[in-house]
Amino acid sequence: MSTSPKKVVVFDYGFGNVRSAERALARAGADVEITRDFDRAMNADGLLVPGVGAFAACMKGLLDARGDWIIDRRLSGGRPVLGICVGMQILFARGIEHGVEAAGLDEWPGTVAPLKAEVVPHMGWNTVEAPPRSQLFAGLDADARYYFVHSYAVHDWSLETTNPAIRAPLVTWATHGEPFVAAVENGALWATQFHPEKSGDAGAQLLTNWIETL
């Protein structure tokens, strides 16, 4: 018996490669729609939040589109959300760019700060160190490479759980000059600093893994 494809909304708040995300999700088998419509974003099986540009500008765009409320309500009901690039960064408590601090969604503690490396931005292909039991990276080789383009990142992870009934967040790391958070799996909320929609076969497998959890 065939099953209907999962419905995924790419949230269109003005900051993100929505068309490339749409194409990649469709290739991975999802029924994709680009919209900022509140009801459609709330009722989709999965919500993808892209992000390109400055932290503060992305946050303003998200707030203007009521994306903060949509994300919070979806997560309160255990409805999956995937953030990509700056769409991941704004999930943290705050971002600092050019000495200016802006508040994030505070779904996770942590600060998005400048990368310290000889070459910035970090632009191109890089490997990651995924934890055991990762669903996001299931079936992917340890030497698989993903496409990054960013000058800021989260360098410390402090959220832990002491309740054995709650699965601890799974954090994936990458290194460019210094280690930084490359991906997070935390209940219904997942995110990647890299662009899976630009990461070839590895990125396609990663998106398929996410869709299969919806």
Residue 195 is a catalytic residue? yes
Q: Taking the mean position of all CA atoms in its chain, how far away is CA 174?
A: 15
Distances (CA, A) of 142 to 85, 137, 198: 21, 9, 18
Closest of 191, 189, 188 to residue 180, by C-alpha: 191
Q: Which of 85, 122, 176, 185 is catalytic?
A: 85
Check if 58 is active-site: no
Catalytic, out of 22, 107, 185, 197: 197
Catalytic residue among 122, 150, 176, 195: 195
- The residues annotated as belonging to the active site are 85, 195, 197
